[in-house]
Amino acid sequence: MKASVNTQYGAPEVLEVKEVPKPIPKDHEVLIKVHASTVNRTDCGFRKPEYLIVRLIAGLFRPKKQILGSELAGEIAAVGSAVKSFKPGDKVFGLNTFNFGTHAEYVCVAEEKAISAMPSNMSYEEAAAICDGAFLALTNIKAANILKPQKILVNGASGSIGTATVQLAKFYGADVTAVCNTPNIKLVEALGADRVIDYTKEDFTKHEAQYDVVLDVVGKSSYFKCKKLLKPKGIYISSELGYMCQNVFLALLTPLLGGKKVLFPIPKDRKEDIVFFRELIEAGQYKAVIDKVYSLDQIVAATQYVETGQKTGNVVIKIT
* Binding residues vs ligand NAP (CB under 6 A): 40-42, 45, 136, 155-156, 158-162, 179-181, 199, 217-220, 239-240, 267, 309-312
DSSP code at position 38:
E
Measured from the CB atom, the residue of 76 and 134 that comes closer to ligand NAP is 134
Compute the least distance from the CB of residue 213 to ligand NAP, in Å.
16
Residue 224 sits at φ, ψ, to 5 deg, of -65, -35
Compute the least distance from the CB of residue 103 to ligand NAP, in Å.
16
Nearest position to ligand NAP, beta carbon = 159
DSSP 222-260: -HHHHGGGEEEEEEEEESS--GGGHHHHHHHHGGGTSSS
Measured from the CB atom, the residue of 107 and 136 that comes closer to ligand NAP is 136
Measured from the CB atom, the residue of 199 and 223 that comes closer to ligand NAP is 199
Determine the length of the chain.
320
From the list 23, 24, 28, 22, the residue with the least C-alpha distance to 80 is 28
Beta strands in the chain (DSSP E): 2-5, 16-19, 29-39, 71-79, 91-95, 106-110, 115-117, 151-155, 175-180, 195-198, 211-216, 230-238, 261-263, 290-295, 314-318
Compute the least distance from the CB of residue 197 to ligand NAP, in Å.
9
Measured from the CB atom, the residue of 94 and 156 that comes closer to ligand NAP is 156
Compute the least distance from the CB of residue 104 to ligand NAP, in Å.
21
Burial of 81 (0-12, 13-18, 19+ CB in 10 A): exposed
Compute the least distance from the CB of residue 9 to ligand NAP, in Å.
16
Compute the least distance from the CB of residue 82 to ligand NAP, in Å.
31
Compute the least distance from the CB of residue 159 to ligand NAP, in Å.
2
Measured from the CB atom, the residue of 207 and 220 that comes closer to ligand NAP is 220
Cβ–Cβ < 8 Å for 128, 70: no
What's the distance, Cα to Cα, between the start and end of the chain in Å?
11
Cβ–Cβ < 8 Å for 71, 92: no
Measured from the CB atom, the residue of 23 and 101 that comes closer to ligand NAP is 101
**CA–CA dist 227, 234 (Å, integer):** 8
Measured from the CB atom, the residue of 86 and 264 that comes closer to ligand NAP is 264
